[in-house]
Structure 1
Amino acid sequence: MTLTELTSSFTLTGVPRDVVTTAAPVTMRVTTNNFAGYTVTVQPTTPNLLPSIAGSTDVIPASLLEVSGPAQVGTFTPLNPGTPVVVDTKPSASASTGDVIANNYRITIPFVRPDIYRGTLNYIATTL
């Protein structure tokens, strides 16, 4: 099983209280010959998106970041560092060239100091 071609990064930009969504989906390709299928999950590595400005104590809770994908049927689900969110599942092997999966993200910008806040998301593909 392989998970390849994962979008390396994305940016959400706005002012406090704006609800912003990714301009282009985060995509990846899952390839497996497991006839039972696969599941793909995502979760943040830390509880907060951290500021870039040295000394800033503002953070953005990772749970404010929401993901939508085929497994959510058009709804957005908050991320949680303790619980992976299923973003796709398939009860059969992928196509021989792999299956392309796409996720959108959104966030309601909180009232924090203007900055670039960063976090890391882990995508994990497992066979069923």
Structure 2
Amino acid sequence: MANRIIVRRENSPPGGFQTGPARACRRGLLGVAAVAALACGGAGVAAAVPGVGSPGSTEANVAVSSAIALTGLTPSFTLTGVPGATVTGLGAVTMNVATNNLAGYAVTVESATATMAAGAPTNLDSVPIGALSVRESATTNYAALSSTVVRTVHTQSTRSIEAGDTISNDYQVVIPFVNEDTYTATLNYIATTL
């Protein structure tokens, strides 16, 4: 087993700790250094004064696009008569058009087919779509419907009212010599901004 040799200075206490005046001096120096460090560390921090603000502003924008809506279109109507008769339906179709477009809007109608088809599968007759005419209510002339040419049934150069404008159309048919039946065609309406 090896021997361990401990060398100790006569004037130093065990562990090398200083006592008496030397230790007090050392503590005093450490205290001064700590205070100086705190003072230096806080020198760069500016205290906020109450009531002082930093102003700024932003600009709010609301971009409104043009819009148009056709709603409340009459789902169907029927004109009834005998061959050779001219049958009129005043206000047969109504709708509501709402738009914020300052230049106004137009409403058109066009048939999806060139003929009105018979309801009975065994009935081979049909009614030409041109036998059916339309006009805007309270106007004079009727225009024959077509599957290739749109008919304008309302136009105006101003926007609608906020709740939308009520549009009304009259229809008239000259019934040809065909079998007794109900003949049907789909009419497509479109409201367009100008």
Residue 101 (structure 2) aligns with:
34
CA distance in 1, matches of 2:71, 2:129: 24
Q: Contact between 2:111 and 2:186, CA under 8 Å: does it hold in 1?
A: yes
Which whole-Å deviations, capped at 9, do the CAs of 1:70-126 have from their partners, x for residues lacking one?
5x9321110011000000001010011111000010101100000010110000000
Counterpart check, 1:25 vs 2:88: no
TM-score (normalised: structure 1)? 0.95
Task: Name the SS for the 1:25 alignment partner.
Answer: strand
Counterpart check, 1:68 vs 2:135: yes
What residue ranges of structure 2 are gaps of 5+ in the alignment? 1-67
- Percent identity, please: 44
Counterpart check, 1:81 vs 2:161: no
Which stretches of structure 1, 4 residues or longer, exceed 6 Å deviation after superposition?
Answer: none
Report how many aligned residue pairs link the two structures: 127
What residue ranges of structure 1 are gaps of 5+ in the alignment? none
Q: Contact between 2:110 and 2:189, CA under 8 Å: does it hold in 1?
A: yes
CA distance in 2, matches of 1:114, 1:25: 22
CA distance in 2, matches of 1:47, 1:67: 15
Q: Which structure has the higher relative contact order (CA within 8 Å, separation 6+)?
A: 1
TM-superposed CA distance for 1:24, in Å, is: 4.1
The structure where strand makes up a greater share of residues is 1
Question: What's the C-alpha RMSD, in Å, of the aligned pairs?
Answer: 1.3
CA distance in 1, matches of 2:80, 2:169: 17
Q: Structure 2 matches for 1:1-128, cutoff 5 A?
A: 1-22=68-89, 24-69=91-136, 73-128=139-194
Q: Contact between 2:110 and 2:187, CA under 8 Å: does it hold in 1?
A: yes
TM-superposed CA distance for 1:23, in Å, is: 5.2
Structure ID, larger Rg: 2
